[in-house]
């Protein structure tokens, strides 16, 4: 045997040795049986894999699974394109469907990276974003009517870190009435809690890095779309040409995580509700932001558009302000200080001293990010242990 002739042809027959676990296709390209097969695949006459930047069987399997989750119970299935991260999913979607001169309408309290992407990268290539309060549907309508170049309404709900919600169905309707597309970042809620396609949106994006994977060991993202042609001819094309493809290993880790997705979400949500109730009754706590509490301003809206629970992201404000926030952060024993979310273990973040340290205090306060605000990504640990840790940290 030649030293350089190792190909899949040397693998045992996959039909007789079908693996139980999704195989990890660590290959950059694929072998054609003969030249005709190659021609037919290249011409798109026959389906088949060519090159892993275009498509990879491991990545495809995970993408299809997430599409099943996002359109579960609907009479159609979303077309997915998996990407290297949540950020590249958002960028790939916008590059695929917008052109210079088009505008995006969005909210101020987006994921920080998204705000920066819209301003710094897309702003620079002439795709500007108008930021308004998307809760104000009248303002949304007049903004869209006043500017026909707004081609996309991009939203996030519940949003970081006050868990403010926007009305997905109403926004999708307003977008469509005004000739725009509607996209949503469903990372916080996940399809277990919120199915934006059922409420009329055109695109859903995710950072699968968070709850869909759930174990904090991979970075990936996905764009899902209702219109198959737009997804293939525009979004998939942008992914393939810019090279925002997902690595098969990251997809494989995500697949592993998805096996316990519903179990994790159930526990995430019940833990979060218990913790929110504990914190709300605590004398050191000024306010708790959790859409599952009746005291949250968007509780009714969240109850209408979310199902199975209210998620596991929450934030709370300590009466002692900045100092109290810093002190609590240094006292946590079980909760981990980490600037991510959606993992099986509980993560804490003090935005004023970390993620929002560069944001001027007035701007921060305008967005509800007060000095003593602590954000929790509630994990799936024993809830009594978590409450004990919180109790000693904020005592």
Ligand X SMILES: *Cc1c(COP(=O)(O)O)cnc(C)c1O
Residues that bind ligand X (CB under 6 A): 85-87, 111, 113-114, 156, 185, 187-188, 207, 209-210, 219, 221, 341
Told to judge if 240 belongs to the known catalytic residues of this protein, a careful annotator would answer: no
Q: Torsion over CA of 285, 394, 366 and 146, rounded to 10 degrees? A: -80
Tell the smallest beta-carbon distance from residue 145 to ligand X (Å).
29
Q: CB 220 → ligand X: shortest distance, Å?
A: 7
Rounded to a whole number of angstroms, the minimum distance from the CB of residue 110 to ligand X is 8
| Shortest spacing between CB 384 and ligand X, in angstroms | 28
Would you say 86 or 383 has its CB closer to ligand X? 86
β partners of residue 182: 153
Residue nearest to ligand X (CB): 86
Residue in 102, 167, 185, 389 annotated catalytic: 185
**CB closer to ligand X, 107 vs 178:** 107
The two most distant CA atoms of the chain are separated, in Å, by 75
210: annotated active-site residue? yes
**Choosing from 111, 154, 290, 310, which is the catalytic residue?**
111
**Cα separation of 215 and 211, whole Å?**
8
What residues does 313 pair with on adjacent strands? 377
Nearer to ligand X (CB atom), residue 52 or residue 85 = 85
Nearer to ligand X, 158 or 383 (CB): 158
Range list of β-strands (E), the chain: 79-83, 103-106, 128-131, 150-156, 181-185, 203-207, 221-225, 285-289, 313-318, 336-337, 347-349, 373-377
**Which among 135, 210, 226, 287 is annotated as catalytic?**
210
> Residue 161: is the preceding peptide bond cis (ω within 30°)?
yes
* CB of 86 or CB of 214, closer to ligand X: 86
3-state secondary structure of 192: helix
* Gap between the Cα atoms of 247 and 59, Å rounded: 7
Give me the least distance between CB of 202 and ligand X, in Å please.
Answer: 18
The Cα 246–Cα 112 span in angstroms is: 22
Q: Which residues are catalytic?
A: 53, 111, 185, 210
């Amino acid at each position: 045997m030649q030293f350089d002739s190792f190909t899949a042809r040397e693998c045992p027959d996959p039909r007789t040795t079908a693996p139980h676990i999704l195989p990890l296709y660590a290959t950059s390209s694929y072998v054609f049986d003969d030249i005709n097969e190659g021609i037919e695949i290249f011409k798109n006459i026959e389906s088949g894999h060519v090159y892993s930047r275009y498509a990879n069987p491991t990545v495809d399997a995970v993408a299809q699974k997430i599409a099943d989750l996002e359109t579960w119970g609907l009479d159609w299935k979303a077309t997915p394109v998996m990407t290297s991260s949540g950020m590249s999913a958002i960028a790939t979607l916008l590059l695929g469907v917008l052109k210079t001169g088009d505008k995006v309408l969005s909210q101020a309290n987006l994921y920080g990276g998204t705000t920066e992407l819209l301003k710094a990268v897309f702003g620079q290539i002439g795709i500007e974003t108008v930021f308004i309060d998307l809760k104000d549907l009248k303002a949304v309508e007049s903004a869209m009517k006043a500017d026909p170049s707004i081609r996309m309404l991009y939203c996030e709900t519940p949003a970081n870190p006050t868990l403010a919600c926007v009305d997905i169905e109403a926004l999708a309707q307003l977008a469509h009435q005004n000739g725009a597309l509607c996209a949503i970042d469903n990372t916080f809620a996940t399809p277990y809690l919120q199915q934006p396609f059922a409420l009329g949106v055109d695109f859903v994006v995710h950072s699968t890095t968070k709850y869909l994977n759930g174990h904090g060991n991979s970075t990936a993202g996905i764009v899902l779309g209702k219109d198959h042609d737009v997804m293939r001819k525009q979004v998939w094309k942008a992914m393939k040409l810019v090279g925002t493809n997902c690595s098969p290993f990251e997809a494989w880790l995500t697949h592993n995580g998805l096996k316990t997705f519903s179990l994790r979400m159930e526990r995430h949500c019940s833990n979060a509700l218990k913790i929110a109730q504990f914190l709300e009754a605590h004398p050191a706590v000024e306010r708790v932001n959790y859409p599952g509490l009746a005291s949250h301003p968007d509780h009714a809206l969240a109850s209408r558009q979310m199902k199975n629970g209210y998620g596991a992201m929450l934030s709370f404000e300590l009466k002692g302000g900045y100092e109290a926030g810093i002190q609590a952060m240094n006292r946590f024993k079980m909760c981990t200080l980490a600037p991510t979310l959606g993992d099986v273990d509980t993560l804490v973040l003090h935005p004023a001293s970390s993620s929002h340290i560069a944001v001027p205090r007035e701007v921060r306060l305008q967005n509800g990010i007060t000095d003593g605000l602590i954000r929790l990504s509630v994990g799936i640990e024993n809830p009594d242990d978590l409450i004990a840790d919180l109790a000693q940290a904020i005592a």
